[in-house]
Copies of this chain bind each other. A is one copy, B any other.
Amino acid sequence: MKITTQYKDGNYAIDVSRGILEDKLTDYTSSYNQVFYLADKNVYRLHKNGKLSFIEDPILMEQGEASKYFDAFSNLLESLLEKGIQRNCLIVIIGGGAAGDAGGFAAASILRGVDYIHVPTTLLAHDSSIGGKTAINSRHGKNLIGAFHRPKGVVYDLDFLDSLPDSEMLSGFGEVIKHAMLRDQETVDALMMATKDGIDVNTVEPFIIKGIETKMDYVIKDENESGVRKHLNLGHTLGHAIEYRYKMPHGIAVTLGIYAALHISNALNQEQTFDLKRYYGYFKGLGYPVEELKTIDAEDMISLMTKDKKNQNTDRIGYIVMDSIGEARFTEIDQKLLIKLIKNLKESL
């Protein structure tokens, strides 16, 4: 399956399928003088005798998030320059969202910009395949340093997902759920049906594609109608606080945040639009620890949320609520009310 981005210019293809890696890469690499491969250490270790055996002498990146700190990033730049990279070369980045972020920022900065291809190896990275954001972390927070720099192509070979640990799969699936919720009821129902017995790469494939399309729609819409991109934060306001406090994988915390958002939307709209029992059962069945929401401390969560720059100097907190599946809305909730709503949610569990 091939998706093409719909920007005004600078478009690229996202190929999503099993077994496409070598063929698709050849299509890209053949038009460059020289190609430099960057690979997440972990991914390379697992696949160097298999899918990645055709790659000679890659530059290994620290695994996952570790690649996004300054020292790892400067080492990466120096390695590329030591090997003599020039402007007409191509960088191929093999790894999850972290490798894509750090490698993409390296591609943006080296010689003020060289072309790159991303080969995502995680489920979550379907999310980063659109939007052109690259970044590394500061001591003062994640993703604070970076550039907008779109890849020349994304080669999403789903075979890689077979080696992904369950917790990473579950985490990435949280963003698949989010994208389905932002799309329409039909997609959510189909997703729930297809994964009622668990998350399997083959059954999830069409929803990865829909997820990419949904994200694309939002990014494009946002270029005209500033602000809708915020909806992509569904589940993230509380999710980030949970992720931070309980050291939970990002997408798992976001899924708990989505459940909370559905509960809070029902309460604010004073309507039982969302069948909370159904979602609770579905999330729980897949392995998301939704019951942990019972143990969160509402005041603590709020105080973490107000650490976010956007919510400083105000007693209201920006929040994405849902009027129905497919209809997200940004609102600001008074802190005291939000504490009450979270306590309410806890009691309901």
Q: Give A contacts to B, CB under 8 Å.
A: 70, 74, 77-78, 81-82, 84, 86, 108-113, 133, 135, 138-141, 144-148, 309
Q: Report the Cα distance A246→B21, complex, angstroms.
A: 50
Q: Report the Cα distance A82→B145, complex, angstroms.
A: 13
A144 close to B309 (CB less than 8 A): no
Given A144-B110, A147-B109, A147-B112; A138-B86 close (CB under 8 Å): no
Contact of A70 among B74, B138, B148 (CB under 8 A): B74
Contacts A81-B140, A86-B309, A112-B148 given; 15 further ones with Cβ under 8 A?
A70-B74, A77-B138, A77-B145, A78-B139, A81-B144, A82-B139, A82-B140, A84-B309, A108-B147, A110-B144, A110-B145, A111-B144, A112-B147, A113-B147, A147-B147
Copies of this protein in the assembly total 2
Closest to A109 in B: B145
When distances are taken between beta carbons in the complex, the residues of chain B under 8 Å from A146 are 109, 112
Closest to A111 in B: B144
When distances are taken between beta carbons in the complex, the residues of chain B under 8 Å from A111 are 144-145
When distances are taken between beta carbons in the complex, the residues of chain B under 8 Å from A140 are 78, 81-82
When distances are taken between beta carbons in the complex, the residues of chain B under 8 Å from A148 are 112-113
When distances are taken between beta carbons in the complex, the residues of chain B under 8 Å from A86 are 309
When distances are taken between beta carbons in the complex, the residues of chain B under 8 Å from A109 are 109, 145-147
When distances are taken between beta carbons in the complex, the residues of chain B under 8 Å from A108 are 147
* 16 A-B contact pairs sorted by A residue (CB < 8 Å): A74-B74, A77-B138, A78-B138, A81-B140, A82-B139, A84-B309, A108-B147, A109-B109, A109-B147, A110-B145, A111-B145, A112-B135, A112-B147, A112-B148, A113-B147, A147-B147
